[in-house]
């Protein structure tokens, strides 16, 4: 049998993490270093691999209940190779070192089990309850695979050059940056877009590091709710894209 499909064969490599094509990740397991992946993200595997639901600590469970931010993970262990993907999102492998990484949990596909993560809050410029943003702080040494809608842009932040990014387009940033959430509006209308510009909340980054943005202001629709008439809800509110991005508020 002949077909152009055979041009998309597996790429052999010695790397633990390898992007087989822009939207498919291959992870090699050797029996000792497990990988944690988004539940349901496995599309294929070879060898003797087992998949188990990952236990969440009580602290992570409480943070998830209060903020809506967190990860539903499965632990993959054994000997062989596993292939991960999620809704044809673009995949990027990042080395996490002592500086750490802050990321929206919606964009995490997989990571080494040696890494730890906890929920942190990004404060609002106005100090308004619930108007901040919750993210995951990933620390340790290892690799994490991130997803983006389209090819992203990596922006360098220096003391002389700070960066502002739309809160719905930001994917991740280095932990060493000073970050503040702000909007060019008055406090009574912080949830409304600024006039007719279509712009709303933004994050301001200062210091030394980088910020990763995607060419989309919508989250991947893995948590989309299908409403009446079969239309997915991507608007404002708890079940829309903005609500999923912001999470719930601390009580």
Question: Quick check: 218 and 167 in contact, CB under 8 A?
Answer: no
Question: What's the chain's length in residues?
Answer: 251
Compute the C-alpha angle 99/100/105, nearest 5°.
160
Q: Whole-model pTM?
A: 0.74
Tell me the C-alpha distance between 164 and 143, whole Å: 26
In order along its 251 residues, the chain shows pLDDT tens digits of 767 776 676 777 788 999 999 999 999 998 778 999 999 999 999 999 999 987 665 555 555 555 555 678 899 999 999 999 999 999 999 999 877 899 988 899 999 999 988 887 776 444 433 334 678 889 999 999 999 999 999 999 999 999 999 888 999 999 889 888 776 554 445 445 445 444 567 888 999 999 999 998 765 444 444 344 443 333 333 333 334 333 333 33
Which H helix or E strand runs over 200?
none
């Amino acid at each position: 049998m002949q077909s152009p499909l055979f041009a998309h064969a597996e790429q052999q490599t010695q790397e633990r993490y390898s992007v087989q094509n822009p939207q498919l990740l291959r992870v090699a397991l050797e029996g000792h270093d497990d990988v944690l992946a988004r539940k349901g993200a496995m599309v294929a595997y070879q060898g003797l691999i087992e998949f188990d639901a990952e236990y969440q600590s009580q602290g992570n469970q409480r943070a998830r209940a209060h903020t809506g931010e967190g990860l539903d993970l499965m632990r993959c262990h054994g000997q062989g190779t596993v292939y991960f993907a999620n809704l044809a999102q673009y995949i990027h492998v990042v080395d996490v070192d002592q500086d750490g990484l802050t990321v929206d949990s919606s964009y995490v596909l997989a990571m080494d089990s040696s890494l730890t993560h906890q929920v942190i809050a990004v404060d609002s410029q106005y100090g308004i309850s619930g108007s901040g943003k919750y993210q995951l702080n990933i620390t340790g040494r290892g690799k994490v695979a991130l997803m983006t809608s389209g090819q992203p842009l990596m922006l360098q932040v220096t003391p002389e050059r700070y960066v502002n990014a739309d809160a719905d387009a930001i994917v991740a940033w280095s932990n060493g940056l000073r970050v503040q959430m702000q909007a060019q509006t008055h406090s009574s209308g912080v949830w409304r877009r600024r006039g007719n510009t279509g712009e709303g909340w933004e994050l301001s980054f200062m210091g030394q590091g980088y910020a990763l943005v995607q060419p989309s202001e919508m989250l991947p629709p893995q948590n989309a709710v299908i409403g009446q008439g079969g239309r997915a809800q991507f608007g404002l509110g708890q079940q829309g894209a903005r609500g999923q991005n912001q999470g719930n508020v601390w009580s």
